[in-house]
Structure 1
Amino acid sequence: MSNFVSFEAPDTGEMTGRGLILSLMNAIGTQRITAAQIVAAGSAFGIEDSAMRMATTRLTREGLLESAGRGLYISGPASRPLRDQVRGWRSVRERTKDWDGGWLAVPAGNLGRTDRKQLAARSQALRLYGFAEAEPDLWVRPANLAIALPALRSELIAIGLDDRAMLFALGDYAAPDKVNFRTLWNLDALQARYAQALAALETSAARLDTLPLAGAARETLSLGQAAIRVINLDPLLPDAMIDGALRARLVETMKLYDASGKDIWRRYYREAG
């Protein structure tokens, strides 16, 4: 079963109590959080205390949070596989290798198409790792991930791929002339997202000191979360297909912004407490 609930907090618009808590735990990497901090975080986003408490109770019931003592919470077992994936944005460079022109393929014709919930989980898991659907029930991506096939398959299954799925490495393939795997990704849109996220982080970083502490906390979480989504949902295409240097600059800028955001949140909690 997929745990993609961790991505449900919106990029823009109104933040929910549920989305805020998951963002705090998953996106910015909070190890543990107190009930008082949860309420204070809600206050920064204009969310009522009762709504934050209710969201905490529901997330605990679902296994996405876990009580670690009176008024203290950590990530629950249901959220940990995807939590680790979300926090993997820092290691983008280490997750790829030089591309030799080969491809990875997951044929899905044997996995069934009647269970809509599982279809969605399958699609989301594969897309999170940069696979695109080349033909109905055939998912592919460049073979430039620095992970062995068995380990990659296990990671995909942990976040929603069917446990009967098979994963292949293709050194070459023959197909009709109109089939070109390289065209499955909108490269211009991907690079535009890198540039937009980078510009937003740089603009925000230059003005954080001018904002009230609650406003700075709110901005670093919202913009940081949006940038992390861009990085984590990026297909990690090879430099032969995409501007890898621009992507690397985004990641390095986000690391600096993340450090600033964590410091701001620590100060905000102290002031609110």
Structure 2
Amino acid sequence: MKPKARHLILDLLQAADGEALSARDAVTACALFGISANNARVALARLSADGLIEAAERGSYALSARAHELADDVATWRTAEQRVRPWSGSWIAVHCGALGRSDRKAMRNRDRALGMLGFREFERGLYLRPDNIERDLDAVRKRLYRLGLEREASVFLVSGLEPARDARVRRLWDGRALNRQYQRLQKQLETWLRQCDRLDPQTAAREVFLVGGQAIRQIVYDPWLPDPLVDAQARRACVDTVRRFDRVGHQLWRRLYETTTGAPGPWAGAARMADTLNA
């Protein structure tokens, strides 16, 4: 599976942890996936025109301030477990009933913000999730707005639902399916890690990027539900494995770049922000 040049470049810029990416490095990375140098340069030009990247110095690019906001949030997947709190049974609600539906870009941003924080639609225009993330409601509200939810949306707490309605809310998420995903993903990554030493450097770099990108996207969009809605211990074990896979990815990419160019690698590893940006 060959990624699009613009997606690959955005992901590499996120993985660079604030460092610039030279056009030469972009071409080198794209070539690894069978993407021509011309396509790589066209992707750089279009990303710049779209305001997602900007010139850092002659021949080098960095994420724009607009793209950085989302990239910084995506990067917090490594520490997301630290933002999970014990659950008292209350729910965080977002009411979008008064928001327009004609602006497709606004709707994409809204859906992305709600999806990244694990909200599900309970009734038309009313989205809910357990009140077990971030330090308080205001932190959740600010994060939603930062990710693209319109500030006209109401964000508030709901508690004291009657048993039947509370049970309906809990069924918005398929906890058993999530548990199976955690176990399946952890097994897939551990299997790859056991055999990656037998792969040639270029194949290993390609696979760790693609497999790791899919794994990170799953964590970024995980709803981070509390027990007993999911098996939090299985999720923790899965995330630990994804972190280890990510570290290996950084090492493989850095080693490949240094072997290919003889210079220290300015970027490395598997990261996924392109799908999140709807680029």
The answer, yes or no, to whether TM exceeds 0.5 is yes
What percentage of aligned pairs have identical amino acids? Answer: 36
Write the mapping of 1:214-253 to structure 2, written as runs, cut at 5 A. 214-253=202-241
| 1:64 corresponds to which of 48, 52, 58 | 52
What displacement does 1:28 show?
7.1
Gaps of 5+ in 1: 1-12
Q: Quick one: which amino acid aligns to residue 22 of structure 1?
A: L
What displacement does 1:205 show?
0.9
Q: Quick one: which amino acid aligns to residue 143 of structure 1?
A: D
What displacement does 1:84 show?
1.0
Write the mapping of 1:49-88 to structure 2, written as runs, cut at 5 A. 49-88=37-76
- Secondary structure (helix, strand or coil) at the match of 2:26 reads helix
Matches of 1:180 and 1:68 in 2, distance apart? 51
What displacement does 1:114 show?
3.1
What displacement does 1:29 show?
4.6
After superposition, give the CA deviation of every residue in 1:55-79 in whole Å (9 maximum; x if it has no partner): 1111122221122112222211121
Write the mapping of 1:93-242 to structure 2, written as runs, cut at 5 A. 93-174=81-162, 180-242=168-230
TM-score normalised by the chain length of structure 2: 0.88
Name the counterpart of 1:22: 10
Greater shift, 78-87 or 132-141, is seen at 78-87
Matches of 2:183 and 2:223 in 1, distance apart? 16
Greater shift, 65-74 or 83-92, is seen at 65-74
Alpha carbon RMSD of aligned pairs, Å?
Answer: 1.8
What displacement does 1:14 show?
2.7
Matches of 1:225 and 1:31 in 2, distance apart? 20
The answer as to whether partners of 2:2 and 2:34 remain within 8 angstroms in 1 is: no
The answer as to whether partners of 1:28 and 1:258 remain within 8 angstroms in 2 is: no
Matches of 1:66 and 1:127 in 2, distance apart? 28
Gaps of 5+ in 2: 262-279
What displacement does 1:180 show?
1.3
